[in-house]
């Protein structure tokens, strides 16, 4: 507008090959939903206190539950909980949204330095990939948000346990606990009797409570497959995204955004797929053929009959979980089916970041780009 041009806007200096970094920051600076999230998140962290986010108890407990897989080092977990990128991005976006009365430029080097120190690496300025930089920043913001949620929920659980302990003590003849000995939410060494711990229903409700500041770039994709033979639908697989990759059709010289979305959401047909339900039905049929033979021992017949009963129960309850103790026929003998797979956006983000990919795989050389 004329008024904004008169007042001027804050620019970003380009000391080296930083134009791809500056373009991403300028685009993010124009997103009110993102700025509102950053304000709420940093304000919540300030109210909670920095000490709360230095406690790695929740993160280490989650890693212990998962067991297998790569264990993240403590410095990385601590960095996620402290949310340095969240705070640094808020600072530079606030600076870019100033309305100076004179010509003003700022440098993104402080934010770039925060990113490099957080990941303990250097940003490659030779490729100048703006989309990759946006993906790194958005994923880091989402990870810091998840880590902060984990810490807050653990603190809430501990607070409820302390309140339950106080309620149990007030109803008995046990003397009250002095205020100096009360356990704070950040204390990880809390050992309460079973009757003084908050109920599982109350604790599970904490996990389901929505956070006050939802991350606006995060959405969810749901992929559903269906067997064309038995019409069985397994549980859909859900994955989260912060940037949605759409492949540009290369059959023509021009396309539309709707056509790119159709490519993501279209129904795919996949051949030679082993359906879990069809495999169990094949196992039942295979065992029934064995039972039809008259020369099998009585002990083997009893085992086959028990296996058939377990397989039918699994077919009725959940075909995705084969019964324990039942040996299924080899997968090479299982029937191959055609399935249909379709993808939908089950949870829309407040801000939809779209990556238009023009890469086409060439089996004779390497990845190439079309000019659609």
With the C-alpha atoms ordered 114, 115, 120, 123, is the resulting torsion angle positive or negative? negative
| Residues 242 and 368: beta-carbon distance below 8 Å | no
* pLDDT band at residue 114 under the 50/70/90 scheme: very high
Mean pLDDT of 9-13: 88
| Residues 138 and 243: beta-carbon distance below 8 Å | yes
Rounded to whole angstroms, how far apart are CA atoms 26 and 288? 68
pTM for the whole thing? 0.78
The answer to whether residue 268 scores a pLDDT higher than 90 is yes
pLDDT digits (tens, 9 = 90+) for 310-329: 999 999 999 999 999 898 99
| Residues 141 and 217: beta-carbon distance below 8 Å | yes
Mean pLDDT of 235-248: 94
* Per-residue pLDDT at 342: 94
311-316 long-range contacts, Cβ below 8 Å, gap at least 24? 311/280, 311/283, 311/284, 311/287, 312/284, 314/280, 315/277, 315/280, 315/281, 315/284
| Residues 304 and 291: beta-carbon distance below 8 Å | yes
pLDDT digits (tens, 9 = 90+) for 181-213: 444 444 443 344 444 444 455 445 544 555 546
* pLDDT band at residue 157 under the 50/70/90 scheme: confident
H-helix or E-strand containing 354? strand 354-357
């Amino acid at each position: 507008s004329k008024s904004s041009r008169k007042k001027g806007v804050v620019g970003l200096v380009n000391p080296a090959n930083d134009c791809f970094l500056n373009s991403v920051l300028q685009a993010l600076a124009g997103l009110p939903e993102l700025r509102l999230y950053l304000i709420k998140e940093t304000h919540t962290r300030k109210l909670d206190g920095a000490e709360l986010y230095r406690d790695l108890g929740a993160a280490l407990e989650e890693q212990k539950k998962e067991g297998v897989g790569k264990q993240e080092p403590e410095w990385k977990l601590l960095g996620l909980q402290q949310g340095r990128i969240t705070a640094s991005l808020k600072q530079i976006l606030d600076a870019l949204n100033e309305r100076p009365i004179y010509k003003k430029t700022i440098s993104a080097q402080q934010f770039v330095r925060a990113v490099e120190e957080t990941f303990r690496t250097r940003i490659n300025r030779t490729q100048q990939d703006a989309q990759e930089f946006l993906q790194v920043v958005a994923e880091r913001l989402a990870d810091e948000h998840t880590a902060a949620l984990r810490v807050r929920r653990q603190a809430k659980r501990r607070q409820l346990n302390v309140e339950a302990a106080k309620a149990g003590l007030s109803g008995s003849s046990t003397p009250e606990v002095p205020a100096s000995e009360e356990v704070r939410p950040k204390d990880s060494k809390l050992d309460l009797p079973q009757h003084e711990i908050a109920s599982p229903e109350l604790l599970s409700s904490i996990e389901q409570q929505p956070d006050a500041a939802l991350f606006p770039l995060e959405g969810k994709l749901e992929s559903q497959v269906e067997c064309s033979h038995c019409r069985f639908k397994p549980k859909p697989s859900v994955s989260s995204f912060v940037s949605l990759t759409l492949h540009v059709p290369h059959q023509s010289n021009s396309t539309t955004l709707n056509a790119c979305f159709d490519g993501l959401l279209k129904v795919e047909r996949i051949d030679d797929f082993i359906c879990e339900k069809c495999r169990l039905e094949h196992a039942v049929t295979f065992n029934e053929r064995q039972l039809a033979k008259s020369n099998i021992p009585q002990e083997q017949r009893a085992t086959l009959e028990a296996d058939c009963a377990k397989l039918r129960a699994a077919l009725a309850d959940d075909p995705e979980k084969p019964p324990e103790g039942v040996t299924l026929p080899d997968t090479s003998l299982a029937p191959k089916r055609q399935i249909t797979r379709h993808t939908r956006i089950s949870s829309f983000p407040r801000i939809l970041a779209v990556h238009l990919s023009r890469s086409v795989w060439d089996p004779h050389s390497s990845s190439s780009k079309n000019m659609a």
